[in-house]
Protein backbone atom coordinates (compact mmCIF):
# COMPACT_ATOMS: atom_id res chain seq x y z
CA UNK A 1 0.00 0.00 0.00
CA UNK A 2 2.85 2.36 0.87
CA UNK A 3 4.48 1.64 -2.47
CA UNK A 4 1.19 2.35 -4.22
CA UNK A 5 0.82 5.71 -2.48
CA UNK A 6 4.40 6.57 -3.39
CA UNK A 7 3.78 5.64 -7.03
CA UNK A 8 0.59 7.69 -7.19
CA UNK A 9 2.38 10.63 -5.63
CA UNK A 10 5.16 10.35 -8.20
CA UNK A 11 2.68 10.21 -11.05
CA UNK A 12 0.90 13.24 -9.65
CA UNK A 13 4.15 15.18 -9.45
CA UNK A 14 5.00 14.24 -13.03
CA UNK A 15 1.58 15.37 -14.24
CA UNK A 16 1.92 18.71 -12.44
CA UNK A 17 5.37 19.18 -13.96
CA UNK A 18 4.09 18.28 -17.42
CA UNK A 19 1.21 20.74 -17.00
CA UNK A 20 3.60 23.50 -15.97
CA UNK A 21 5.81 22.81 -18.97
CA UNK A 22 2.79 22.86 -21.25
CA UNK A 23 1.70 26.24 -19.85
CA UNK A 24 5.21 27.60 -20.39
CA UNK A 25 5.16 26.36 -23.98
CA UNK A 26 1.80 28.01 -24.61
CA UNK A 27 3.09 31.25 -23.08
CA UNK A 28 6.12 31.06 -25.36
CA UNK A 29 3.92 30.48 -28.40
CA UNK A 30 1.42 33.22 -27.62
CA UNK A 31 3.69 35.85 -26.10
CA UNK A 32 7.39 35.39 -26.72
CA UNK A 33 7.05 34.68 -30.45
CA UNK A 34 5.09 37.95 -30.72
CA UNK A 35 7.85 39.86 -28.92
CA UNK A 36 10.64 38.54 -31.12
CA UNK A 37 8.64 38.68 -34.36
CA UNK A 38 7.50 42.26 -33.75
CA UNK A 39 11.11 43.30 -33.27
CA UNK A 40 12.26 41.55 -36.44
CA UNK A 41 9.35 42.86 -38.50
CA UNK A 42 9.86 46.38 -37.17
CA UNK A 43 13.53 46.25 -38.16
CA UNK A 44 12.55 45.07 -41.65
CA UNK A 45 10.07 47.93 -42.06
CA UNK A 46 12.74 50.44 -41.01
CA UNK A 47 15.22 48.93 -43.47
CA UNK A 48 12.70 49.04 -46.32
CA UNK A 49 11.77 52.64 -45.52
CA UNK A 50 15.42 53.60 -45.58
CA UNK A 51 16.08 51.77 -48.85
CA UNK A 52 12.98 53.22 -50.51
CA UNK A 53 13.96 56.72 -49.42
CA UNK A 54 17.57 56.51 -50.60
CA UNK A 55 16.73 54.93 -53.96
CA UNK A 56 18.66 51.75 -53.25
CA UNK A 57 15.76 49.72 -54.62
CA UNK A 58 14.61 49.65 -58.25
CA UNK A 59 14.11 53.22 -59.56
CA UNK A 60 10.54 54.14 -60.49
CA UNK A 61 11.54 54.50 -64.15
CA UNK A 62 12.62 50.87 -64.38
CA UNK A 63 10.57 47.70 -64.57
CA UNK A 64 10.38 46.16 -61.06
CA UNK A 65 12.62 43.12 -60.83
CA UNK A 66 11.36 39.70 -59.89
CA UNK A 67 11.43 39.39 -56.10
CA UNK A 68 13.52 36.47 -54.82
CA UNK A 69 11.74 33.98 -52.57
CA UNK A 70 11.85 35.15 -48.95
CA UNK A 71 12.85 38.74 -49.69
CA UNK A 72 10.93 41.70 -48.26
CA UNK A 73 9.76 44.09 -50.98
CA UNK A 74 6.81 46.13 -49.65
CA UNK A 75 5.27 47.66 -46.54
CA UNK A 76 1.62 47.05 -45.69
CA UNK A 77 -0.24 49.82 -43.86
CA UNK A 78 -3.83 49.49 -42.61
CA UNK A 79 -5.22 52.62 -40.91
CA UNK A 80 -8.12 50.68 -39.35
CA UNK A 81 -5.57 48.65 -37.37
CA UNK A 82 -3.72 51.68 -36.03
CA UNK A 83 -1.79 54.75 -37.10
CA UNK A 84 1.48 52.92 -36.50
CA UNK A 85 0.46 49.67 -38.19
CA UNK A 86 3.20 48.76 -40.68
CA UNK A 87 4.19 45.23 -41.65
CA UNK A 88 6.75 43.97 -44.17
CA UNK A 89 5.56 41.93 -47.15
CA UNK A 90 7.86 39.09 -48.20
CA UNK A 91 7.81 36.86 -51.27
CA UNK A 92 6.36 33.44 -50.45
CA UNK A 93 4.02 31.95 -47.88
CA UNK A 94 6.07 29.19 -46.27
CA UNK A 95 5.97 28.86 -42.48
CA UNK A 96 9.37 30.46 -41.95
CA UNK A 97 8.45 33.44 -44.13
CA UNK A 98 5.17 34.01 -42.29
CA UNK A 99 7.18 34.25 -39.07
CA UNK A 100 8.88 37.34 -40.50
CA UNK A 101 5.85 39.24 -41.78
CA UNK A 102 3.07 39.05 -44.33
CA UNK A 103 3.66 36.59 -47.17
CA UNK A 104 2.88 37.18 -50.85
CA UNK A 105 1.43 34.18 -52.68
CA UNK A 106 4.02 33.45 -55.35
CA UNK A 107 2.49 33.61 -58.83
CA UNK A 108 -0.20 36.14 -57.95
CA UNK A 109 -0.09 39.74 -59.16
CA UNK A 110 2.21 42.37 -57.75
CA UNK A 111 1.02 45.48 -55.88
CA UNK A 112 -1.18 47.68 -58.09
CA UNK A 113 -1.06 45.29 -61.05
CA UNK A 114 -3.96 43.78 -63.00
CA UNK A 115 -5.02 40.56 -61.32
CA UNK A 116 -5.00 39.60 -57.67
CA UNK A 117 -2.27 40.69 -55.25
CA UNK A 118 -2.80 37.94 -52.67
CA UNK A 119 -1.16 37.81 -49.24
CA UNK A 120 -1.33 35.73 -46.07
CA UNK A 121 -0.54 36.46 -42.45
CA UNK A 122 -0.66 34.90 -39.00
CA UNK A 123 -3.65 35.67 -36.82
CA UNK A 124 -1.96 34.39 -33.67
CA UNK A 125 1.74 34.05 -32.77
CA UNK A 126 4.75 35.48 -34.61
CA UNK A 127 3.61 39.09 -34.48
CA UNK A 128 0.05 38.15 -35.58
CA UNK A 129 -0.13 40.80 -38.35
CA UNK A 130 -3.70 39.78 -39.27
CA UNK A 131 -4.98 39.27 -35.73
CA UNK A 132 -7.74 41.85 -36.25
CA UNK A 133 -8.48 41.18 -39.91
CA UNK A 134 -12.14 40.74 -38.96
CA UNK A 135 -12.30 44.42 -37.95
CA UNK A 136 -11.90 45.59 -41.55
CA UNK A 137 -15.03 47.11 -43.03
CA UNK A 138 -16.11 47.96 -46.61
CA UNK A 139 -14.57 51.28 -47.55
CA UNK A 140 -11.48 50.89 -45.35
CA UNK A 141 -8.18 51.74 -47.04
CA UNK A 142 -5.22 49.39 -47.34
CA UNK A 143 -1.92 50.90 -48.50
CA UNK A 144 0.87 48.83 -50.06
CA UNK A 145 4.09 50.83 -50.24
CA UNK A 146 6.92 49.82 -52.59
CA UNK A 147 10.04 51.50 -53.93
CA UNK A 148 8.05 52.76 -56.91
CA UNK A 149 4.61 53.67 -55.63
CA UNK A 150 1.81 53.61 -53.07
CA UNK A 151 -1.04 51.31 -54.11
CA UNK A 152 -4.21 52.27 -52.23
CA UNK A 153 -6.86 49.55 -52.09
CA UNK A 154 -10.40 49.83 -50.69
CA UNK A 155 -12.01 46.92 -48.84
CA UNK A 156 -15.08 45.58 -50.66
CA UNK A 157 -16.14 42.40 -48.84
CA UNK A 158 -15.06 39.36 -46.87
CA UNK A 159 -15.89 35.67 -46.66
CA UNK A 160 -15.01 32.64 -44.57
CA UNK A 161 -13.85 29.56 -46.47
CA UNK A 162 -12.21 26.17 -46.02
CA UNK A 163 -8.40 26.04 -46.12
CA UNK A 164 -8.58 24.27 -49.50
CA UNK A 165 -10.53 27.11 -51.18
CA UNK A 166 -7.68 28.36 -53.37
CA UNK A 167 -10.22 30.06 -55.64
CA UNK A 168 -9.97 33.15 -53.43
CA UNK A 169 -6.47 33.89 -54.73
CA UNK A 170 -7.35 33.35 -58.42
CA UNK A 171 -6.55 36.31 -60.75
CA UNK A 172 -10.26 37.13 -60.50
CA UNK A 173 -11.12 36.29 -56.88
CA UNK A 174 -13.56 33.39 -56.56
CA UNK A 175 -13.63 32.94 -60.35
CA UNK A 176 -10.86 30.52 -61.38
CA UNK A 177 -10.11 30.65 -65.10
CA UNK A 178 -11.65 34.08 -65.64
CA UNK A 179 -9.51 36.68 -67.40
CA UNK A 180 -8.59 39.50 -65.03
CA UNK A 181 -9.28 43.11 -65.91
CA UNK A 182 -9.52 44.57 -62.41
CA UNK A 183 -6.83 45.11 -59.80
CA UNK A 184 -7.59 43.22 -56.60
CA UNK A 185 -5.96 42.45 -53.30
CA UNK A 186 -6.83 39.39 -51.21
CA UNK A 187 -5.83 38.95 -47.56
CA UNK A 188 -6.09 35.52 -45.92
CA UNK A 189 -5.70 34.42 -42.29
CA UNK A 190 -6.69 31.49 -40.12
CA UNK A 191 -10.18 31.50 -38.62
CA UNK A 192 -11.39 31.51 -35.92
CA UNK A 193 -8.62 32.92 -33.74
CA UNK A 194 -6.41 30.22 -32.24
CA UNK A 195 -7.62 27.72 -34.83
CA UNK A 196 -6.77 26.77 -38.41
CA UNK A 197 -10.13 25.17 -39.21
CA UNK A 198 -11.09 27.86 -41.74
CA UNK A 199 -9.76 30.96 -43.46
CA UNK A 200 -10.96 34.54 -43.05
CA UNK A 201 -10.61 36.32 -46.39
CA UNK A 202 -10.81 40.04 -47.15
CA UNK A 203 -11.10 41.34 -50.72
CA UNK A 204 -10.05 44.88 -51.62
CA UNK A 205 -10.04 46.71 -54.96
CA UNK A 206 -7.41 49.16 -56.17
CA UNK A 207 -8.61 52.74 -55.83
CA UNK A 208 -5.54 54.71 -56.85
CA UNK A 209 -1.79 54.37 -57.34
CA UNK A 210 0.45 57.29 -56.37
CA UNK A 211 4.07 57.59 -57.56
CA UNK A 212 6.37 57.41 -54.59
CA UNK A 213 8.00 60.72 -55.51
CA UNK A 214 4.67 62.52 -55.05
CA UNK A 215 3.75 60.83 -51.78
CA UNK A 216 0.32 60.07 -50.38
CA UNK A 217 -2.45 62.67 -50.13
CA UNK A 218 -2.98 64.05 -46.64
CA UNK A 219 -5.41 61.94 -44.67
CA UNK A 220 -4.91 58.69 -46.57
CA UNK A 221 -3.53 56.96 -43.51
CA UNK A 222 -6.03 58.51 -41.07
CA UNK A 223 -7.91 55.98 -38.96
CA UNK A 224 -11.51 55.54 -40.12
CA UNK A 225 -14.31 56.47 -37.74
CA UNK A 226 -16.46 53.79 -36.17
CA UNK A 227 -15.60 50.18 -35.46
Cβ atoms within 10 Å of 208's Cβ, excluding its own: 15
Tell me, yes or no, if 80 is annotated catalytic. Answer: no
191 is annotated as an active-site residue = no
Is residue 199 among the annotated active site residues? yes
- Of the residues 183, 190, 191, 212, only one is catalytic, namely 190
Distance of CA 101 to the CA centre of its chain: 6
Torsion sign across C-alpha atoms 56, 61, 62, 65: positive
Torsion of CA 142, 145, 150, 156, to 10 degrees: -20
Which residue in 87, 123, 191, 199 is the catalytic one?
199
Q: Which of 122, 123, 191, 212 is catalytic?
A: 122
Buried b / exposed e over 101-113, threshold 16 CB at 10 Å, is bbbbbeebbbbbb
Catalytic residues: 122, 190, 199
Amino acid sequence: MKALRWSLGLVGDLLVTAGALLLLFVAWQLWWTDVTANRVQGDTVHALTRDFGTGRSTPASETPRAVPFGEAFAILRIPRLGADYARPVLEGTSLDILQEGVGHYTGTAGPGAVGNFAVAGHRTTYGRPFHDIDRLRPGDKIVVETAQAYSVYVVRRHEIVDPTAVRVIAPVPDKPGAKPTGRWMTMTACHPKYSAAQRYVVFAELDRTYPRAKGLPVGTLAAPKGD
